[in-house]
Amino acid sequence: MSVIRADTAIVGGGLMGCWTALMLRRRDPAHRVVVLEKGVVGAQASGVNFGNLRIQGRHPGQLPLAIRAAAIWERLGEFVGEDCEFDATGHLYAARDAAEEVAKAEKTAREAAAHGVPATLLDRAGLAARWPWLKGFRMASWSARDAVANPRLVTPAVARAARAAGTDIREATRVVGAAQANGRFLVEVAGGDTVEAGQLVNVAGAWAPEIAGWFGEGAPVVPAGPPQFVTDAVPYFMRPSVQAVDGSVIARQTRQGQVVVAGYPRGASDPIANRAPVDARRTLAAMGHLVRAVPRLRGAAVVRVWSGIEAYLPDMLPVIGPSGTTQGLFHAFGFCGHGFQLGPGVGAVLADLVLLGRSETPLSLFPITRFAAGEVAQAEQFRREFDARSLAQAGIAQTGIAQTGIAQVGLRQPGQEA
Ligand SMILES: Cc1cc2nc3c(=O)[nH]c(=O)nc-3n(C[C@H](O)[C@H](O)[C@H](O)COP(=O)(O)OP(=O)(O)OC[C@H]3O[C@@H](n4cnc5c(N)ncnc54)[C@H](O)[C@@H]3O)c2cc1C
């Protein structure tokens, strides 16, 4: 049994944990950082996601963070020494004829432009002229700065860079408890070792509420993921990624020719059994939507389906910032399916908080304390996507999040009925 001493201990070796470690070491090479990962780095949501680096279509309160992240993605090679298939393909947020879809596309373009993200509205003729393979859309918000990258490559590359910069990254190291004594964190890992650190960063993804719970706070996380599939390779033609406003089509083509597809609604996943099942009916429906939007893909065969375990919160906004109970503890989780793009920005913000105690990036919408107050309203998208079963699995009463106290929040325990 040994004691490992660090300035900052990070729980979770996903994208957020690895970027935080890299940013801390780049900014202060004397700062001792240890990352504790129960499995291998980037194997959870960070490694299985769709790979969209979309700035547009976010809550306006997230745009400053997304823009900070985009600036880092655009210099990825400089940070990690490899491009991880980063490609500024642009992104189309496309509306069919329904008036509310058109209004959403217009709002998306307007909000992006208001934050300096170049987004333009294209009508049916404009879409047909540029992307004749795309069918059935009346209007789209076109964001040329949006990009994609290969999630399987990114987190391991960031972890390698963080290690090269001096981070101690420990895989197969599950954190089983943590407490603060005399201003120092004592973090217990399975097997008996202890990490002693001045600051603790909780970036444990869908498992993060468990860590927050050890410090008397929580958040009503629903673990879920969008169903995804990939086709066999077809000749490359599909340059921007495409997202239908109603979520029925979210697709991009890799340079190697495979088409990666995601679709809403998301399905519940199980962070205890480590399972993210995909309902075959959703895959079939998504195939139909895809072929109607991109008829050229009619002959493409689906070769693999999967999903992942991501933390969703009722207001569809993440938790990012200091603990409400414990000095020196910081949380960042609950990215609601949007965290891949935010990753480097979150790492930079957490490094700000750890090293300076504040960040220039606005975080006022993301405090963990908003749940303790019990007044968090469910976002319309959350209500639409998560059925009673998903909410019950997450221990959230369907009658309203306002009644969900910390005692009810958190993860189902092993063996407990779903
Ligand atoms: C199927 C899918 C598609 C998505 N598509 C997109 C997309 O296109 N664009 C986008 O921006 N976002 C997307 N997302 C969201 C994005 O993947 C996540 O927001 C992001 O990866 C979260 O990163 P993270 O590091 O917080 O979490 P994770 O990647 O889940 O990492 C958390 C880590 O903590 C570890 N951990 C947990 N508990 C402990 C413990 N007790 N001890 C030690 N380690 C622990 C876990 O093993 C895990 O590796 C998608 C998500 C999914 C699931």
For residue 393, name the pLDDT band (cuts at 50, 70, 90). low
> Does residue 340 belong to any structural domain of this protein?
yes
Beta carbons within 8 Å of 203's beta carbon, 6+ residues apart:
10, 11, 12, 14, 16, 17, 20, 331, 332, 333, 346, 350
Ligand 1 centroid–CA 114 distance in Å is 29
Assess whether 228 and 212 both reside in one domain: no
Assess whether 217 and 230 both reside in one domain: no
Assess whether 361 and 231 both reside in one domain: no
Q: How far is CA 46 from the centre of its chain?
A: 7
> Does residue 359 belong to any structural domain of this protein?
yes
Ligand 1 centroid–CA 129 distance in Å is 38
> Does residue 86 belong to any structural domain of this protein?
no
Assess whether 272 and 397 both reside in one domain: no
**Which regions of 97-202 does DSSP assign to beta strands (E)?**
119-123, 139-143, 147-148, 168-170, 175-181, 184-189, 194-202
- The tokens describing 177, both together, are 């408890």
Assess whether 326 and 393 both reside in one domain: yes
pLDDT over 80 at 399, yes or no: no
The protein residue with its alpha carbon nearest to ligand 1, atom 53, reads 308
Assess whether 391 and 243 both reside in one domain: no
pLDDT over 80 at 171, yes or no: yes
Indicate if ligand 1 lies below 6 Å from the C-beta of 46. Answer: yes
Assess whether 386 and 248 both reside in one domain: no
> Does residue 291 belong to any structural domain of this protein?
yes
Supply the pLDDT for residue 136.
Answer: 97
Ligand 1 centroid–CA 238 distance in Å is 27
CATH of the domain at 287: 3.30.9.10
Supply the pLDDT for residue 401.
Answer: 34
Supply the pLDDT for residue 146.
Answer: 98
Assess whether 245 and 326 both reside in one domain: no
| CA–CA gap between residue 139 and residue 315 (Å, rounded) | 27
Assess whether 280 and 404 both reside in one domain: no
Assess whether 136 and 104 both reside in one domain: yes
Supply the pLDDT for residue 390.
Answer: 66
For residues 268 and 390, is the Cβ–Cβ distance under 8 A? Answer: yes
Assess whether 109 and 173 both reside in one domain: no
pLDDT over 50 at 367, yes or no: yes
> Does residue 136 belong to any structural domain of this protein?
yes
Domains of the chain: total: 2
CATH of the domain at 366: 3.50.50.60
Residue that finishes a domain, picked among 294, 310, 326 = 310
**What secondary structure does DSSP assign to 265-277, as a single string?**
SPEE-BTTTTB--
Helices 15-27 + 339-356 axis angle, to 10: 40
pLDDT over 80 at 161, yes or no: yes
Residue that finishes a domain, picked among 293, 310, 327 = 310
Assess whether 125 and 231 both reside in one domain: yes
Indicate if ligand 1 lies below 6 Å from the C-beta of 310. Answer: yes
Tens of pLDDT, residues 312-353: 999 999 999 999 999 999 999 999 999 999 999 999 999 999
What is the domain range of residue 191? 3-47+152-221+313-408
> Does residue 57 belong to any structural domain of this protein?
no
Indicate if ligand 1 lies below 6 Å from the C-beta of 331. Answer: no
Residue that finishes a domain, picked among 254, 282, 310 = 310
Indicate if ligand 1 lies below 6 Å from the C-beta of 44. Answer: yes
Indicate if ligand 1 lies below 6 Å from the C-beta of 266. Answer: no
